[in-house]
Structure 1
């Protein structure tokens, strides 16, 4: 079953994907690897002489958009940006359960197929949840972890999804940009977060993709007994999905080597301050 609402929607979504990837202004390679869950597409880019870094994007979004938001990683790291299977992009349209640990098993197979025994990993939102599941399934394969506004640590009840329904219905009936913005603001809080690429991606998700509501469920602490790698967790104070107060407290509890940072006055969709970008880069470059 397709993850898109129509064939036309699929074409429009992939057109936006390619357009955003070109906006990077960086050379890249398309890699396809086979996993037991289905074929997986990966964008290889960044600094080929840099530290290898496996990157997981947010849900109902794409690797192309995520790379635009994470340009600060391209100079120092050899990026492998994965299209999450069953989400918009060029991997197989095979939907895995957000419960259990299938996403972690899939991510573990991706690492194997790329030819790495161990690699640093970076995940945002849904992608942070995938990384959390990977840490449980194959802790020995994760050299370091950066989790930003991550699912899978301490998820809030999805009350925000209910609040978004009215402006979302207004947008679907009228296709007016003002309702698109109003809907996105439940996640972004501040309008300056909603740049052209972000709004294009949100619009694509609402117009063309069968939106996934379920986020990777919270990982079980007992499954982390084999994981001791350095971990950096960044969460937003006013995130309606994964609030910093709960996420950071549990992260400190369950990860043995964990640094935390709270993005004050920020929502789930946010702009990382330059100081935090530098913190991430330096963390990933530190020898462990």
Structure 2
């Protein structure tokens, strides 16, 4: 009993996110419950960078083409559980907990701008021995994936984006107000209310519980908010790009995003999926998996 008391009172191993080891432990338990949803064998590792230790989940054949996944803010890499099996059949997948978000990565300093976000991910890929890869991201992870595709164009062979936060169009003020309010009062009812607004579908309980645990026990420390890329920046995307959006999107104007993306570049293949909101990989995983598979094989 004495040993347990000591462990739960000391500073956590991830102090920028969790003030005590007890809070860190409670979050990690919720994280592991979500990770248990993955239907394929996986390994986890920490990759050192100048920004801190980056937590990575890897799976798939060792000789498979590298594929990088970047998650939605607050959810961590476990959000990919409905999509991981078809991806890991062929590709060597690395799902990365990005530095500064509430996950298992432990930052020592935070990327302060888009360029430093690119530098951080560049370091991770270098440590993993990856020269070039396919990259995919959802929500804030989509924003980061596109950012890296502009930062290191030659290293990204194909890019798929699911409901990228901002990126093509500004965020609605309502979304900003709601996430600030939820972060300020992270009790269960406010977190669940936010999730129900974000997605009209009932989401997996373990994943929602992990999202709640992140804001209840942790402190969000991201310094780079999602923003809109200029035409000149987006024209640097020379690789094939798949953009999937939900017709019930609430964080921004989905029709305007679709129009801007498709008019800006012939490299961008975009589709609005009926009956889905912001977290479309969780809401209609079968269709999303089919579209990603088609894009990776034929796009």
> What TM-score range do you get, normalising by the shorter chain?
0.7 to 0.9
8 Å CA contact 1:237–1:243 kept in 2: the answer is: no
RMSD of the TM alignment (CA)? 2.6
Match of 2:25 in 1: 11
Residue 241 (structure 1) aligned to one of 251, 257, 264: 251
Residue 61 (structure 1) aligned to one of 52, 57, 75: 75
8 Å CA contact 1:128–1:150 kept in 2: the answer is: yes
Show structure 1 runs of 5+ residues with no match: none
Residue 235 (structure 1) shift: 1.2
Q: Are the structure 2 counterparts of residues 216 and 162 from structure 1 closer, same or farther at C-alpha, using a change threshold of 3 Å?
A: closer
8 Å CA contact 1:239–1:268 kept in 2: the answer is: yes
Matching of residue 279 in structure 1 with residue 294 in structure 2: no
Match of 2:111 in 1: 96
Superposition TM-score, scaled by structure 1 size? 0.85
- Superposed CA deviations along residues 135-180 of structure 1, whole A, max 9, x for unmatched, are 11111110000000002222323313435677887872xx45xx54
8 Å CA contact 2:136–2:142 kept in 1: the answer is: yes
Match of 2:211 in 1: 202
Match of 2:35 in 1: 21
Q: Are the structure 2 counterparts of residues 76 and 226 from structure 1 closer, same or farther at C-alpha, using a change threshold of 3 Å?
A: same
Match of 2:198 in 1: 187
Quick one: distance in 2 between partners of 1:166 and 1:88? 17
Moved more, 52-61 or 181-190: 181-190
Q: Are the structure 2 counterparts of residues 4 and 253 from structure 1 closer, same or farther at C-alpha, using a change threshold of 3 Å?
A: farther
Quick one: distance in 2 between partners of 1:52 and 1:79? 6
Superposition TM-score, scaled by structure 2 size? 0.82
Count of residues in correspondence between the two structures: 279
Q: Secondary structure at the match of 1:262?
A: strand
Quick one: distance in 1 between partners of 2:247 and 2:221? 24
8 Å CA contact 1:61–1:201 kept in 2: the answer is: yes
Quick one: distance in 2 between partners of 1:166 and 1:83? 24
8 Å CA contact 1:60–1:205 kept in 2: the answer is: yes
Match of 2:44 in 1: 30
Show structure 2 runs of 5+ residues with no match: 1-14
Q: Are the structure 2 counterparts of residues 104 and 248 from structure 1 closer, same or farther at C-alpha, using a change threshold of 3 Å?
A: farther
